[in-house]
Amino acid sequence: MELNVGLLSPEILLTGIAVFMILLDLITPKRFKNKLFSVISSVAVGVAIILTLSKISPIPQKAFNGFITKEAFTGIIDILVLFSGLFTVLVSHDFIERKKISYIGEFYYTLLFVLVGAMLLAGSSELSTLFVSLEVASISTYILMSLFKGDYRGKEGALKYFITGSVGAALLVYGMAVLYGLTGTTLYGEIAQAAEKLSPLPLLLAAGLIAAGFLFKTGAVPFHGWMPDAYEGAPTPVTLLMGSAVKVAAFAAFIKLFIPIFYHFQAEWEKALGVIAVISMFSGALLALNQRNVKRMLAYSAISHTGIIIATFLSSPALTVFSVVFYLFAYTFMTVAAFGLITILSANGIKGEEIESWKGLYSKNPLLSLSAVAIFMSLAGIPPLVGFWGKFYILLALVKSGEVLLAVSVLIASLISLYFYLKPVVYIFMKEGTGEKFIPGAGEYVATIVSTAAIVIFGLLPEVIAQISIMGLSSFLRSLT
């Protein structure tokens, strides 16, 4: 066992750049700040992507005496996190240009800290590392949400997210303390060895508390109260980051913790998790039906998607890892594209979030309207797009493991959600427009169009993502033995 610091070079690079930006923020004149900091952070994230790509290997690598384990699975999640970070930087440049906030430097380096936290979260294989990186990502998100001056909604959303998120984190620590008490160690590998000899009842207590902590973070139903408020209240680029990077990393950490330690008594907890999954997917889909605000609607749809991902945990471990990686891949691009589109449309303040103001978009900007159709149809799971393949593999995994009832409920929830995904599309193609002009900035335009293109291209070539997910799965299984 040695330190192996080189494995963490992307995280170290991002942290270094962020600290450097704190200093640079003091001497830069205000009018250059937005351009300078967005260029620095996008270059830093780009270099981090290259570094991560160069370090992906099917053989699991350990750093810091096994506190961090990076397999191809973690590498894939890191790439997704970094891509959504890059798109967030692009989108926020234009957003800040319009809003004229007074804390520009703070916004960009806090954003980099969110990415560092999310990457460490996906890589951690020790309880305290997991907790600290989760909190780095979440506390930075609270700051980002409430940073915009005079924006009351963001602060209210931040407070609600803060209270529920902290309760979730506190329950997570309590579960970790119980787990430590039962096994006497905090490393996943050693916990898994010790856990096999224990009786399931005390382990179930730890599993329940830890699962509750993660369900708070990912927004499954009994713990979903913050999701709509936080998604609606947060500035749209921050919603983008919350919905993609933080959520993807939280799911990855959940898998890395749950599968080695708690899978040998799956029969004891699968009923409870199945009920949570079904309730999440249905209540998310049903509550989204009547929303006028597109961000709020997407928040409820995110709850529904969370339910679908959690349902996958009831199949066998190998199928779970494969289909969750596939789904997260698709989900990241869909979330980035959807919130990028909303940022463009809300150029005139809050109005673009209301579904009425989408009327007649087709006559104003055909390319954006067509990409909106692709985004919403992909979220609903219509065949040639990537969202369909994500749902397809989850259904396949569920049917293969004999969970036909769950598979049917995934199908029904998707059918319900088709209604509210079609609503914006209908509004876009309505004739009578309300005539609000908007000029999209270059960054947000590129981010939306590129991620929409990814939705379409990967939808036509699903075997590319399938290959990547299989690589992630094989390296994940290798790290268990």
Partner 1 sequence: MTPFSLFLLSGLLLAIGLFGIVARRNVISLFFGLELILNSANVLLVGFSKLHGNYYGELFVFFVLAVAAAEAAVGLAIVVAIYRMKRSINTEDFRTLRW
Instruction: Give the footprint of partner 1 on this chain (CB under 8 A).
Output: 127-128, 131-132, 135, 139, 142-143, 146, 152-153, 155-160, 162-163, 166-167, 169-171, 173-174, 176-178, 180-181, 184-186, 228-229, 232-233
**Least distance (Å) between residue 162 CB and partner 1:** 5
3-state secondary structure (DSSP) of residue 69: strand
Give 89 or 147: the residue with its C-beta nearer to partner 1: 147
**Least distance (Å) between residue 89 CB and partner 1:** 22
Angle between helices 9-27 and 104-123 (to 10 degrees): 170
Give 157 or 381: the residue with its C-beta nearer to partner 1: 157
Give 228 or 381: the residue with its C-beta nearer to partner 1: 228
**Tokens, residue 8:** 């963490």
Give 11 or 232: the residue with its C-beta nearer to partner 1: 232
| CA quadruple 88, 93, 95, 100: dihedral, nearest 10 | 140
Any idea what DSSP says for residue 196?
T
Q: What span, in angstroms and rounded, lies between the C-alpha atoms of 136 and 118? A: 8
Reference 333, options 240, 219, 250; nearest CA is: 240
Give 101 or 177: the residue with its C-beta nearer to partner 1: 177
**Least distance (Å) between residue 296 CB and partner 1:** 8
Q: How many residues does the chain have?
A: 481
**Least distance (Å) between residue 184 CB and partner 1:** 4
Beta bridge partners of 69: 62
**Least distance (Å) between residue 134 CB and partner 1:** 9
Q: What span, in angstroms and rounded, lies between the C-alpha atoms of 398 and 316? A: 9
**Least distance (Å) between residue 145 CB and partner 1:** 9
3-state secondary structure (DSSP) of residue 70: strand
For residue 195, give every residue at least 6 positions away whose Cβ sits within 8 Å of its Cβ, in sequence order, or none: 182, 183, 203, 261, 262, 264
3-state secondary structure (DSSP) of residue 293: strand
Q: What span, in angstroms and rounded, lies between the C-alpha atoms of 362 and 360? A: 5
The structure tokens 């989850």 sit at 394
Residues 365, 345 contacting (CB under 8 angstroms): no
Give 35 or 100: the residue with its C-beta nearer to partner 1: 100
Give 185 or 401: the residue with its C-beta nearer to partner 1: 185
**Least distance (Å) between residue 146 CB and partner 1:** 5
Beta bridge partners of 68: 63, 124
**Least distance (Å) between residue 287 CB and partner 1:** 9
Give 180 or 429: the residue with its C-beta nearer to partner 1: 180
